[in-house]
Amino acid sequence: MRNRARRRDRGVASVEWLIASVPFLVVFMGTMQYALASLARVSVEYSAFSAARAAVVWLPREEDGTGGDPSTAAALPLVPLSPRVDQGRVTVADYLGHSQIAGELLERAVYARRATVVDIQPQNPAWNGDVTVEVAYLYSCKVPVGKQIVCKRFGDLPGGYQGRFSGSFPGWYLLMRARHTLTNQGRPGGGA
């Protein structure tokens, strides 16, 4: 009689554990994805500052091909957040070789450039006029279960941005936007 009662108690405890662990894991994975996205948000804010700094220093350009590119300045801080373009599996051994690291960074830089959109207003700023730069970045969500809770498919993102990113983006994403305004320090009279 006691053994039967113990087995029944163990069975009930197992079922209770299953019932309690599933919601816990879902909430935990959602919280992890949200935390990673919050850290990425800081990088997108810095990306907007970098693009604004490039815009106010180099706009209007003295000549074609001189100065910097605000789009490149925006994409560079986002390389650590970016996945590889081919989304292939990378082992620890891949990271240890010098040539592997260079290739990995290049693939991530390609994604960062493709997944970053920069808007500069006004296009031809006056001397000491304000230049506002808005950066939009497709943050790739990777946490299992958490990505379905926090993120959206590329096709579900706001329509105004879908056509502005270059290439296809299968998977789950968060559209992160940041805006920064600085005073134009470009050549006086060049674009006023």
In a domain, 188, yes or no: no
pTM: 0.76
In a domain, 51, yes or no: yes
In a domain, 191, yes or no: no
Say how many domains are in the chain.
Answer: 1
In a domain, 165, yes or no: yes
SS3 for the chain is CHHHHHHHHHHHHHHHHHHHHHHHHHHHHHHHHHHHHHHHHHHHHHHHHHHHHHHHHHCCCCCCCCCCCHHHHHHHHHHHHCCCCCCCCCCHHHHHCHHHHHHHHHHHHHHHHHCEEEEEECCCCCCCCEEEEEEEEEEECCCCCHHHHHCEEHHHCCHHHHCCCCCCCCCEEEEEEEEEEEECCCCCCCCC
Reported as a pLDDT band with limits 50, 70 and 90, residue 189 is very low
Average predicted confidence (pLDDT) for the chain? 79
In a domain, 90, yes or no: yes
In a domain, 189, yes or no: no
> Domain residues for 130?
2-183
In a domain, 108, yes or no: yes
Q: Is the pLDDT of residue 134 over 90?
A: yes
